[in-house]
Structure 1
């Protein structure tokens, strides 16, 4: 991690611009407005005392922030300037924070977890001095449908029970331990964070559809557990759940994804992740493909290029180049359409 200079090292007239730039580089570009002395209204031209420690863990961006009262606003103009989407897990360690996104308002104090989507406008209010840790997860790496993601973003996640109780200490430890993690361990830990967040999204599945939602979740879990089986197909999935193939397809009409496509995308995501973790010394492309249920290496390569825009070998080489600093990982390691 590199410590960005505190605003104390900057002249009074430049401190707000300096802090805005610091926040934008560590997280994503946004507008910063200091609070007035009484802490109730945002003032227009004051300074914000604070410091940020940024970091990386595999594909994740990390930041620890300590600062004075302020409002952070991510507008559509900010999004247009930096369109790469992240999902932010914001852990409040002291003070209070209020998040507004998509018409929702969520407030947390120390120990609380907020989740927001950087691809949609939001406001974060800190009405008193505060400290927090933020983990930015690349949207494409989560492999979640938009409707599932929107059930989590713009909300406060309970941290007493369920996945939230596991996620907060796990992410906190990631931020603290990132500087000492070798690249191979960092990639594995990042993959664990992404999987755990996906579990949180599943836990937050929309109530109201009752048995249907429960069945779809069980089918998704079944698919994930059997990705390595080359025989996995809509027919075997339907048989395992004692339903017809026709009814299986009806269940997934609302998911905007066919079962065959879901199986392929989940297999490709596992392959992409393993190719990144393995590096040049990892298993061969054919071995990775076969491990995750692809019978034909040629079909795997075509499918992989169709989703990620690179052949599997190019994908692995680009990761190696990104580690060495030869290319921008954010620009090249993403599926098409993200």
Structure 2
């Protein structure tokens, strides 16, 4: 199972290059992608005749990690009020890998040098000017997700933070590991990798109560697991109920659902069958259902195969459904 996770996660990835395109079309495609993916944006390429750019995009849980190689240019994020918002509202972690990102935001100008990162709000105005070709990482984080780790992201916007020293160094090393192919070889599903981003960002920014932030991750996992179990309790009678269905309802991937339940020592199939069998045992002793055939009890509790239901029932309770109905249920 674990070996299939990278291939499944890779479906969330995409890439583009200007190679082979004529320059006007390449520049138009570059601007269109930036406006629809990053922010409402205006792009001024300083030397259109030498334009060359490429990007890769990786889905990591609710996050989107963009690896950008870009020419010398000026990008102006005009904000949600200045242009129609097509990109998802996000807090961006922009990490300079090579080239200086001269940034203007909130009435001041500062540099983001290689090895530093800055947090920006893609619904607000800011400008970045790069005098040379550059390489950057842009991690797009929904604000609701980020607030689990940084209670007040707005207070951290627009200041360069070192990702190669102090508590920023683990975050920088984490980013570099991913960029060096670590995402494909990661032993964890991508939603769990996203959580590591949140924890390391809390440390790198010096967010108070970082330990409580890390503990809150555990609480969040428990809450998700509880939601999964409640969904099974509610929809157990649906014979089509599946991990994919429940994961979609909860807002996570099937892989992450399986990981959460495994951490609790169980699985989706085990919980679903246990719930169905418990409901079947109740129905078999309910006087109002005395006229139901055993097969109908199986169908009403989500089993399409009465013989399979009978085998599971006997394995669980030690007697057949018919014996249970006859009053031979164990006392304990």
Q: TM-score, normalised by structure 2?
A: 0.58
Unaligned runs of 5+ in 1: 37-44, 205-216, 228-265, 288-296, 299-312, 324-338
> Residue 155 of structure 1: which of 159, 166, 172 is its match?
159
Aligned residue for 1:319? 252
Partners of 1:179 and 1:79 lie apart in 2 by 36
Alignment check: 8 A CA contact 1:79 1:120 kept: no
Partners of 1:104 and 1:271 lie apart in 2 by 43
> Residue 105 of structure 1: which of 109, 114, 126 is its match?
109
Aligned residue for 2:33? 22
1:162 is paired with a residue of what secondary structure? Answer: coil
Shift of residue 59, structure 1, vs aligned partner: 1.3
Partners of 2:177 and 2:132 lie apart in 1 by 25
Shift of residue 131, structure 1, vs aligned partner: 1.1
Shift of residue 156, structure 1, vs aligned partner: 0.5
Taking structure 1 as reference, are residues 314 and 114 closer, same or farther at Cα in structure 2, changes over 3 Å only?
closer
Aligned residue for 1:213? none
2:193 is paired with a residue of what secondary structure? Answer: helix
Tell me if 1:74 matches 2:77: yes
Unaligned runs of 5+ in 2: 1-12, 235-245, 257-332
> Residue 229 of structure 2: which of 261, 276, 284 is its match?
284
Alignment check: 8 A CA contact 1:16 1:47 kept: no
Q: Which has the larger radius of gyration?
A: 2
Partners of 2:151 and 2:118 lie apart in 1 by 18
How many pairs were matched up?
A: 232
Partners of 1:173 and 1:223 lie apart in 2 by 23
Tell me if 1:186 matches 2:194: no
CA RMSD of aligned residues (A): 3.8
Shift of residue 61, structure 1, vs aligned partner: 0.5
Shift of residue 79, structure 1, vs aligned partner: 6.3
Q: How does 1:1-338 map to 2 (within 5 A)?
A: 1-4=13-16, 6-36=17-47, 48-77=51-80, 80-82=84-86, 84-143=88-147, 148-175=152-179, 176-181=181-186, 185-201=189-205, 203=206, 217=208, 221=211, 225=215, 269-271=220-222, 274-275=224-225, 284-285=229-230, 316-320=249-253
Shift of residue 112, structure 1, vs aligned partner: 2.1
Taking structure 1 as reference, are residues 115 and 46 closer, same or farther at Cα in structure 2, changes over 3 Å only?
farther
Partners of 2:147 and 2:93 lie apart in 1 by 16
Shift of residue 285, structure 1, vs aligned partner: 4.5
